[in-house]
Structure formats: C-alpha cells, structure tokens
Structure 1
Amino acid sequence: METLPRETIVDVLEGRLREDILNGRHSAGSYLPPERTLADGYGVTRTTLKHAFGRLVQAGLLETRHGVGTRVRDYLRLGGADLLPMLVRHSPDWIDEIFEVRRSIGMLIAERAAVRATAQQCEELRTLLAAVREAQGGDAVQLADVELHRGLARTTGNRVYVLLTNTLFNAYLPVRAALVGPFTDADAAHDRLEPVVEAVRSGNAAEARRAAETYLTATERIMLDGIR
C-alpha cells in the first residue's frame, strides 16, 4: 500500500484557488481582492496566502505586480502545454483534445521516423518493441510503450517532436492508472505496435503513417472506455 499524501493548509488553499480560477469564479484578466480580504475569506493567514500565490504564479495561473496587485492570467491565450497535467486533473474533458493531438502528432512522427531512421535507430526500436512484450504487468507494459514512442520521436532527428511526445505523456499522467486498458496483455500490446515499428524499419513512410493511425485509434478507444 502507498502512503497517502499529507496535505498542508497551503496545499488545500492552492487547490481551492486553482479550482476557483479554472471554474471562472476569478475570471481571466481580473484582479483578485486585496490579500487581507482574500485571506479572511478563505480563513487563512496572509503568509499562507502568499505561499499559495507563489505556486499559482509558477503554474501560470496568476501574475503579481508589486504595488498593483495579483491578476488572473489568461492561460488559454498565454499559457503553454506545461499546464495540461493540471487542466486534466481539473476536468477530464481535456483528455479528448489531448488524444486528438496525440493521434495527429503520432502519425506525423511515425512518417518522419520512416524517412530518417538510421540502422542503429532501427535496432533500438526493435529492442524497445521487445521490451513491451517482456514487461510484467499493465503498468510496466504501459511504461515500455511510452519508451518506444520516445524512441520513435528521437528517430525523427527533431528534438521538438521529442519534447511534444514528453508533453503529451505528461498531460495524461494524472489519470494514467485509468488508461492501462491497452497494456494489460503484453503480447497484444506488442502486436499492436509491431506494424508501426516494421514500417519505420522498412522506410515506408506512408505505411508507417497508416500503421500509427491504426495503433493510436485502437488504443485511444480502449483507454477512453476505461475512464467513461
């Protein structure tokens, strides 16, 4: 059994403020009430409030200007993909949009990988594919699958694809346990991925794209069924 995390008052306040911002109680572009008023309203000290503010500034939801106040940041206009894990925790509705991007980016990565893969990278992909079949348990198979997709992204020779791949996996990390469906059977997970790897190894870009679309669509369907 895992030890349950112990929430501090700062953790609780951060969560409350985050939900109030994402739910629109504090709208984008608006200034929060004065610190004393807000602290009294939440029943906390101003020191606790400042700590929570600091976290939300780092998260990209608030911005503080000395002598002016603390304003709610327009995260949809100004934010980056690093906000996705937090947004998924707030609302599972984001998962559908993440999977849409996962599908389109994954197809493009497979296509590019087929064009650019070196002999050494092809062998690495074979090794990573074998690791999927050898993994024990859904969680381990899922992680092995992730590593193969990182390998495909590296094979493109474009580091931005690698970062995008990391971003998409990090985005659904908060609900990863609920998305284990496609990975409970290591052999089946291996067999779904094998056509992608073989198309990349053969240098067939069109086939790699089709195989990736088939794989991503099938696994997306299974994963979404697991959270609905």
Structure 2
Amino acid sequence: MARSTVVDEVTDRIAFQIASGRLEAGESLPSIRRLAAEHGINPSTVQLVLGRLRTAGFVEARHGVGVVVRDIQLYGGIETWRYLFRFSRRLPDLTVATVRDILETLRLFYDASLTKIAADPAAYDATPARRALGRLELLTGDGTVPAADVHKGVLQILRSSRAAVGGGVTLGVLNSLGAMLSEIPEVLDALYADPAEHVWWWGQVLESWETGDLERGRQTLALLDDWHVQALQRLRARLTADPS
C-alpha cells in the first residue's frame, strides 16, 4: 500500500471516530508511538496523519497535554464539514443536519439580499442573474440534465444575484457552501429532483426584483421552507437506502 494511501486511510479512521463520538471533544489522542502500534504504521506516518487532522480541524496540539480532539460542532470550519461528507452514508443523521444548516444559511443570504434590494430596487441590476437563469432554462429544457449541472447553473444565478448587491466575503462563503454540496451525489439528487422547479422559482424571484414587487419576492422565498423539508426527506431516503 502506498504511503499516501495509508495516511488517507488512517486519517479517515480517526476522523470517523471523532465524527461519530467515539473520540469525544477534549479527549487526548494516544501518544504517537501508541497510535503507530494501533494502526500498524510508523511514527513518521502518524505525524502526517495528525497534520491532516489538524488541517481539517479535527484535533489541535495543546502544550503539556498533547493532541486533543476539538469540538467540531463549535469550532469546525468549512474544511471540517467538507471532510465529514466522506462519511455521509455511515453517518446519515449528521449529513442531513449539515445540509439543513447549509440550506438555512443560504436562506439567510436570500433574505439579506432581498432586504437590500427592497431599500432601492433601481440601484441593483438583475441582468447578469437573468442571463444565468436563461442558461439554466436552456440546460434543463429536455429534462435529462444531470443534477450536478443543475447545481452549477443555480450557483451561477446565486453568484450573479449576490454580486449585484455586493459580493465580498459573502460571495466567498456562498462559493464554499456550493462546493461542499457538490461533493455528494445523493445531496445533488435530493436537491435537484425537479430541475424545472428551480427554474420556476428563480424566475419568480427575478421577476419580483425587476418589477419592484418585493412582497411577491418575500412570498416566493417563503416557499423554500416546505421545499427544504422535502429535499431533506429525499436526502435521508437516499442515504439510508440499501446500495444493493
């Protein structure tokens, strides 16, 4: 087995122990020698594994204590949650909860953008977002488009919309969240079960923006609540389905 493969395997093994609660937040990992013996690797490989775990936010080094498990719920970052998606089928509850959090975060961005537009609709140009929607309409026209392609199209509308009202750090966060969602086929299949639904929804949002009918926009955003519930139900069903 190649060294990089050993590092990947052991890193995944320990990360899963943390994600599943077998190793609890605040708990110290065994010594490097003990980890080497436990996983059948040499101490230098253990150092590489610990480096991967630190980079992904699962552990941290504490002076006088050693390597300690972090509370990934409180302190996990984008890289932590992207890594957790590797365990989507083994930890479906965690995956569904993570996707729920991402969808709720996206909803906050939608609400913030609508509030900003409502203050002065004429100050923000919806044309780039309308063009992105046009491309999505063409893409989904025959009804056989892969969910991954729909996801890219929706992200482009969202990027264009957010950039119109001021992108900055928010746009970077949206890009990161979009990339996270794209890494699990089951997530994309659950979110984009009906591509035409997304085309219709964005059409309503953009029309309310272009006409200045922000009340209609708020009503359209409210539809997300039920849609998210349904998408998460589909996701759970896909993650817990028998792969055979």
Q: If the TM-score is normalised by the length of the shorter chain, which range does it land in? A: 0.7 to 0.9
1:92 aligns to 2:92 (yes or no): no
Change (3 A) 1:117 1:147: farther
Corresponding residue number in structure 2 for 1:104: 108
Change (3 A) 1:160 1:33: same
Give the conservation status (yes or no) of the 8 Å contact 1:125–1:148: yes
Matches within 5 A, 1:3-152: 8-65=5-62, 68-90=65-87, 91-93=94-96, 94-115=98-119, 121-135=125-139, 137-138=145-146, 139-152=148-161
Tell me: higher relative CO, structure 1 or 2? Use CA pairs within 8 A at least 6 residues apart.
Answer: 1
- Rounded Cα–Cα distance in structure 2 between residues aligned with 1:37 and 1:82: 27
- Rounded Cα–Cα distance in structure 1 between residues aligned with 2:108 and 2:34: 47
Give the conservation status (yes or no) of the 8 Å contact 1:115–1:204: no
- Write the letter of the residue equivalent to 1:200: W
TM-score, normalised to structure 2, is: 0.77
CA shift digits 1:169-194 (9 cap, x unpaired): 23323324543356466544322210
Change (3 A) 1:161 1:212: farther
RMSD after superposition: 2.7
CA shift digits 1:76-105 (9 cap, x unpaired): 333334432223444323223332333333
- Structure 1 residue runs without a partner (length 5+): 1-6
Partner-residue secondary structure (3-state), 2:60: strand
Partner-residue secondary structure (3-state), 2:108: helix
CA shift digits 1:14-52 (9 cap, x unpaired): 000101112222221222111101111112111221111
TM-score, normalised to structure 1, is: 0.81
Corresponding residue number in structure 2 for 1:213: 222
Shift of 1:167: 3.5
Percent identity, please. Answer: 25
- Rounded Cα–Cα distance in structure 2 between residues aligned with 1:183 and 1:35: 45
Change (3 A) 1:182 1:61: closer
Change (3 A) 1:75 1:196: same
- Which of residues 172, 185, 190 in structure 2 aligns to 1:163? 172
Change (3 A) 1:188 1:109: same
- Rounded Cα–Cα distance in structure 2 between residues aligned with 1:219 and 1:106: 15
Matches within 5 A, 1:179-194: 179-180=188-189, 183=192, 186-194=195-203
- Structure 2 residue runs without a partner (length 5+): 88-93, 238-244
- Rounded Cα–Cα distance in structure 1 between residues aligned with 2:25 and 2:69: 5
